[in-house]
Amino acid sequence: MKSDFVENCSENTGQENPGFENLGHGIYCVDARYIQHGIACCYLMVEGDQVAIIETGTAHTAEGIAEALAELELPKEAVRYIIPTHVHLDHAGGAGLLMQQYPEAQMLIHPRGARHMVNPTQLMAGSKAVYGEEKFQQFYGELIPVPKERVISVEDGEKHELNGRALEFRHTPGHAEHHFCVWDSVSEGWFSGDTFGISYHEMGNDLKKHRSDRFIIPTTSPVQFDPDKLLASIDLMMSYNPKKFYLTHYSVLENPEPQADLLRAQIEDYRQIAQLLRNESEREERIHQALKDITLARLSSEQPELDLDTMGKVLAMDLDLNAQGLNIWISRQEKKEISA
C-alpha cells in the first residue's frame, strides 16, 4: 500500500512515485519528506545484495526508505552502511532510527560529527532553540542515539567498500567543519551534501531531465560558513573531473562545470556583501535583502524564462539561513581583528 505522502505527491505531480527515482549505476533517489516534496533527499546505493544509505533525512524519512527497499525487493539485512555527510538534522536527523531498523548497518561519519550521533542532546537543544518544540517535532521527529560501537569515524581520503565497490571520503569544510563528501568512481559522481550548494528542480527550465541546466546557490547557513574553505572544497571535488553531483537539495546534477563556476562567483559575492554591510545597523536584514536582490538578478540572467516571484518563494528559507550564516561569519572576522 502506498503511503499518504506518495499518494499526495502523485496527485500534485502526476508521477506514480515521485519520491523514488532510479538514477542509474545502482543509485536511487528517495525524497526525505522534509517540509515538502523536493526539498531534501537521500540516496540508496545498491551493489549486488548490499546497500548503503547516503544521507538519512529526518525520522520522517525512514518510511520512504523502507518503501524503496521493498520496491527493490531488498531485505533489511542488505543495508551495510548508513552515511550522513554531516550532522545537520536534514541530513542526519533520522540516523538513529535507521540504525535501529537496520541492525546489520554501520554508520560512517566525519570524526567531528561522531559524538553528536552517539549523544544528540546538543543537536536537539540547538534546533529547538531555533524552531521551538512543535516545529522541531514537525520537521525532525525524534532523535535517537546511535550505539557508539556501531559508529566508524572516517578520516580524509579513507576508502570503504560496498560489496567491492569503493567509496572514497574527502573532508570538505566550508559549509560545516564536520562535513565530508563521498566519491563514487562507478558513477564518477560526488554525494556532496551541502558543499556543492542547492539546486531545486524548479531552478531549471527542463523539469523532465532536470539534470544539467539548473541554477544553483551556495548554502552558508549557520554556524561554520567559511568562504575560503568552501572554495577550496569545491576545487577539490572538481579536481576529480566529476560527471555528476548527487545533491541532497535536490537530486542529481550532470555536467557540473557551469554550476561550479556559478558557485564560486556567488561565494565571492556573498563575502563582499557581508564585508560591505559589516557596519550597518540591522546588518542581518540588510544582508538578507542584498542576497535576495543579487540572487534573483543573477537567476534572471541565467534563466530568464523563470518567474522571479515564484523563485523568491522557492528560495526564501535558504536565503534567510544564508543571511544568518553570513552575519555569524562576519562577526567571527570582527572578533579575530579585535584579538589580533
Mean pLDDT check: name the lowest of 132-141, 166-175, 314-323: 132-141
What is the C-alpha to C-alpha distance for residues 216 and 203, in angstroms, rounded to an integer?
A: 7
Q: Which residue matches cell numbers 527497499? A: 69
> The whole model's pTM is what?
0.92
Torsion, Cα of 108, 117, 251, 204 (10° steps): -140
So what's the pLDDT on residue 126?
77
Distances (CA, A) of 167 to 30, 105, 161: 20, 16, 6
Nine-digit cell at 198?
542547492
The CATH class given to the 4-259 domain equals alpha beta
* Alpha helices (H) along the chain: 4-13, 62-71, 89-92, 95-101, 114-118, 121-140, 227-238, 257-276, 283-302, 308-314, 316-339
Length of the chain: 340
Res. 16 pLDDT band, cuts 50 70 90:
low
Res. 3 pLDDT band, cuts 50 70 90:
very low
Mean pLDDT check: name the lowest of 57-71, 133-147, 234-248: 133-147
Query: What are the pLDDT digits (tens) for 264-281?
Result: 999 999 999 999 999 999
3-state secondary structure of 89: helix
Distances (CA, A) of 239 to 12, 174, 234, 236, 243: 39, 17, 9, 5, 11
Max Cα-Cα span within the chain: 63
What is the C-alpha to C-alpha distance for residues 207 and 283, in angstroms, rounded to an integer?
A: 37
Instruction: Kindly write down the DSSP assignment for every residue of 219-285, as one continuous string.
Output: ---SS---HHHHHHHHHHHHTT--SEEEETTTEEEES-HHHHHHHHHHHHHHHHHHHHTTT-TTHHH
Amino acid identity of residue 191, one-letter, is: F
Mean pLDDT check: name the lowest of 17-21, 177-181, 191-195, 283-287: 17-21
Res. 7 pLDDT band, cuts 50 70 90:
very low
Cβ pair 165, 120 in contact under 8 A: no
pLDDT at 340 over 80: no
Res. 206 pLDDT band, cuts 50 70 90:
low
pLDDT at 14 over 70: no
pLDDT at 12 over 50: no
- Where are the chain's structural domains? 4-259, 270-339
User: For the residues 133-149, what does the mean pLDDT come to?
Assistant: 89
Distances (CA, A) of 138 to 29, 127, 171, 303: 23, 12, 31, 34
So what's the pLDDT on residue 136?
82
So what's the pLDDT on residue 67?
96
So what's the pLDDT on residue 262?
96
So what's the pLDDT on residue 10?
39
